[in-house]
Structure 1
Amino acid sequence: MATPDNLIDATTPRGDTTYVLVHGAWHGGWCWNAVARILRAHGHQVFTPTLSGLGERSHLLSKAIDLGVFIQDVVNVLEYEDLTGVVLVGHSFGGLPITGAADRVPQRIRQLVFLDAVVLEHGQTAFSRLAPGIVAQRIGQSNESSGGLSIPVPPASAFGVFEAAQVALLERNCTPHPLKTFDDPIALNGPVGGTIPKVYIQCVDPVYEPLQASRDFVHAQKDWAWDEIKTGHDAMISAPEALAAKLLGYAS
């Protein structure tokens, strides 16, 4: 496990930083609004793409949406906006599309941030990182609610969110997640993140138990940095100021 000096040196002049913030399952770009406002107030450029079939793009939900589509969603933002020197952040399931994007266009990324995220190696699936009981439950819920199209939204408490206004935000905006993306193997040409500096931020209050296998993987690596934030799984909702402060540490 790397020490925090593996991260971008916040004292090094680099000019404005570009952040691309990728949401997790059931969410959308909307979940980053509070964090994005803080980062922009500090003069940085921020993109918060919504993955296909979710959020304001939920009308596109179909069984054709797999992990490759999610990866292409992120790659397209990097390429069509011609972004370089990016701090690429993936929350929860968003760890997978940022891993795929880093594998395809590493030259555009200077820092990978896995925020309480799923981490997979080549050929693995999101379901392969979850306990069999959770996998069976999610498949059963999907079959019952949508004929295997999507996984219904869990309660806000599952994301470590309990404050009334924040719960209402999730209940209003979260949408069912494409089932196929959980059972689609990730295709990588090299190790996770390659040589790009990588940090994993664990949300520790409360701990989101389904991610333990991903955390165990990260702890076994020598080239990852580790950080923690004292809030629940949806840190961008429950603790946007604290999360933004950490992300600003990776800027100039």
Structure 2
Amino acid sequence: MQRRQVFTAGLAGAAAALVPPVRAAEIAADPASRPAFVLVHGAWHGGWSWSRVAARLRAAGHAVHTPTLTGLGERRHLLSPQVNLDTHIADVVNLLECEELQNVVLVGHSYGGIVISGAADRARDRLRQLVFLDALLLDSGKSLFSDFPEAVVQQRLKTIRETGAGVGAAPALPPSAFGVKDAADAAWVQRRMTPQPVGTYLQPLQLRAPLGNGLPKTYIECTTEPIATLEPTKARVRADAGWRTRTLATGHDAMVIAPGPLSDMLLSEIAV
């Protein structure tokens, strides 16, 4: 049965303290039982965006990986017309394989939800569960642009043509578009965002199994100033009893705006 909860934990206290006593005892007795976290960022972002959450999860005793997808962040020098959705799915699958990770909680934010959907289809045996943070979902055979309003698609394509720096990339939106209002946070995000490869918008997602590949799935909805293009995804999740749903009273970039409550929520999910 679908469960919907509102999470209201504050920033106080170490993240490790929020692991339920039974689970904490299990982890203490068998460190190998601690799941690893792989945190996948959204469009225009990079692994840097997870730094505040990663620190809290590591303090709770978990291995944490925050890959930056090809062509973005510190890997922006790899931006090219050849970078597409498959490239980013391969980034995550290759990380799982090369680091020989098992028992992984795979988290995808925004566009990263599409990426982890593809990774789960290809590397299910390495995963424990999936968490979609205010993320997009696609059916197999559809691209990111497939479900965007036509006006949004045309505006994005026009902007890419005019400012794509010759490699076909969408310039980043301002931090305020992601709910980042604090001046220091906004400046921190603005300095780090990089253009998004257009191939990630245009290439369809190809899945061999149903979305999630049979893994437990949680959707965390950020409820402050919700993004209109996410509403079809959220309606789909709310109507499907196969999802565990949570809400977080923060803006879209929850890992920047509310790293404490988000970390607590992620830790609570592995105890379910």
What is the CA–CA distance in structure 2 between the aligned matches of 1:32 and 1:120, rounded to whole Å? 23
1:43 is the counterpart of 2:61 = yes
What is the CA–CA distance in structure 2 between the aligned matches of 1:119 and 1:54, rounded to whole Å? 21
1:86 is the counterpart of 2:100 = no
What is the CA–CA distance in structure 1 between the aligned matches of 2:256 and 2:152, rounded to whole Å? 24
Secondary structure at 2:159 match in 1: helix
Question: TM-score normalized by structure 2?
Answer: 0.88
What is the CA–CA distance in structure 1 between the aligned matches of 2:147 and 2:58, rounded to whole Å? 35
Q: How many residue pairs align between the two structures?
A: 249
Q: Which structure would you say has the larger Rg? A: 2
Q: Summarize the alignment of residues 1-252 of structure 1 with structure 2, pairs less than 5 Å apart.
A: 2-3=2-3, 11-12=22-23, 13=26, 15-146=33-164, 147=166, 149-251=168-270
What is the CA–CA distance in structure 2 between the aligned matches of 1:210 and 1:17, rounded to whole Å? 32
User: 1:34-68: per-residue Cα shift (whole Å, max 9, x none)?
Assistant: 00000001111100000000000000000101110
What is the CA–CA distance in structure 2 between the aligned matches of 1:70 and 1:127, rounded to whole Å? 17
Asked if structure 2 preserves the Cα contact closer than 8 Å seen for 1:139 and 1:148, the reply is no
What is the CA–CA distance in structure 1 between the aligned matches of 2:120 and 2:67, rounded to whole Å? 16
Deviation at 1:210, TM superposition (A): 1.3
Asked if structure 2 preserves the Cα contact closer than 8 Å seen for 1:142 and 1:148, the reply is no
Asked if structure 2 preserves the Cα contact closer than 8 Å seen for 1:87 and 1:250, the reply is no
Asked if structure 2 preserves the Cα contact closer than 8 Å seen for 1:130 and 1:211, the reply is no
Identity of matched residues, %: 47
What is the CA–CA distance in structure 2 between the aligned matches of 1:84 and 1:66, rounded to whole Å? 26
What is the CA–CA distance in structure 1 between the aligned matches of 2:167 and 2:76, rounded to whole Å? 16
Deviation at 1:2, TM superposition (A): 2.2
Deviation at 1:251, TM superposition (A): 3.3
Report which stretch shifted further, 13-22 or 64-73.
13-22
Deviation at 1:4, TM superposition (A): 6.3
Q: One-letter code of the match for 1:36?
A: A
Secondary structure at 1:162 match in 2: coil
RMSD: 1.7
Deviation at 1:73, TM superposition (A): 0.3
User: 1:174-228: per-residue Cα shift (whole Å, max 9, x none)?
Assistant: 0000011111100000111021000110100121211111112222322111111
Deviation at 1:148, TM superposition (A): 6.2
Report which stretch shifted further, 111-120 or 147-156.
147-156
User: 1:70-92: per-residue Cα shift (whole Å, max 9, x none)?
Assistant: 00000011110011110000000
What is the CA–CA distance in structure 2 between the aligned matches of 1:229 and 1:4, rounded to whole Å? 11
User: 1:143-180: per-residue Cα shift (whole Å, max 9, x none)?
Assistant: 00024610001111110111001100111000000011
Asked if structure 2 preserves the Cα contact closer than 8 Å seen for 1:153 and 1:175, the reply is yes
Asked if structure 1 preserves the Cα contact closer than 8 Å seen for 2:52 and 2:255, the reply is yes
Secondary structure at 1:249 match in 2: helix
Gaps of at least 5 residues in structure 1 are: none
What is the CA–CA distance in structure 2 between the aligned matches of 1:4 and 1:204, rounded to whole Å? 13
